[in-house]
Amino acid sequence: MYDFAIRFEQDETGVAVFCRDLPELNSFGDDVEHAIREAMDAIDTTLSLYVDQRRAIPSASEPQEGEHVVQLPAVTVAKIALWNAMVERNMRKADLCRLLDVHQAQGDRLVDFLHTSKMEALENALAALGKRLLVSPASYTRYEVFYIHCGELKTLQANYNDNTDAWSLLLAGLKLKLPKDLESPSPEQVCRNSGISHALLRAS
């Protein structure tokens, strides 16, 4: 529900990050790995902006081709659920503190995305508002491959139950044809023969 999809735009200075569901988000990294790390912090900062402006946080839409899905920590998802429940009831932080009988600082931290909170405290706050947070583990590993094809940064997403490598995922996911001039080529050779120069695998 809150696995936001981000997209990358690469130029000679690095990789910029944007999010359709959170248009206020704007981040940058030296490379893809750095951009993903920076995007996590940027999402927390953007969610804090929604709280400051007393706006409901939107749900994530379906990812589009070439986008990277960011899976938020369970604590962050719980904070989103709590904040949206407060907005739905037109509650302020002070109202939450009175409801939970806690000090202002304690109540504020429950919807502060730049401050960590205990899951038990968030569950208690949600219960006080008649909400429950259900967490179910995924039965598969989601892989994402970042690759450069003809100078353009792209991504490929796939779900696999076992470990694999970036080149094999690209070979299967892009349905690349085997070159006739290579005998028993490796997945990497097939990819490079198709104009793919770099490949990076991440399990998300």
Q: Where are the domains of the chain?
A: 4-70, 74-128, 141-203
SS3 75: helix
Are the CB atoms for 21 and 5 separated by under 8 Å?
yes
- pLDDT for 163 equals 47
User: From CA 199, how far away is CA 153, in angstroms rounded?
Assistant: 10
pTM of the predicted protein model:
0.70
Q: What is the pLDDT of residue 4?
A: 92
pLDDT tens digit at each of 204 positions of the chain = 888 999 888 888 888 999 999 999 989 998 877 888 899 899 999 999 999 999 999 999 988 877 888 888 889 999 999 999 999 999 999 999 999 999 999 999 999 999 989 999 999 999 999 988 776 555 545 677 777 888 788 877 765 544 467 777 777 777 777 666 666 677 788 888 888 877 877 766
Q: State the CATH class of domain 4-70.
A: alpha beta
- Count CA atoms within 13 Å of residue 168 on its CB side: 7
Place of tokens 């003809």: 150
List strands edge to edge, sheet with 14-19.
27-29, 14-19, 4-11, 68-70
- Closest C-alpha to 32, from 192, 187, 166, 189: 166
Q: Do residues 95 and 82 touch, judged by C-beta distance below 8 A?
A: no
Per-residue confidence (pLDDT) for residue 202, from 0 to 100: 72
Residue 203 exposed, middle or buried by CB count within 10 Å (0-12, 13-18, 19+):
exposed
pLDDT at residue 192, rounded to an integer: 83
The pLDDT value recorded for residue 51 is: 97
d(CA 185, CA 167): 12
Torsion angle of C-alpha atoms 182, 183, 184, 190, degrees rounded to 10: 0
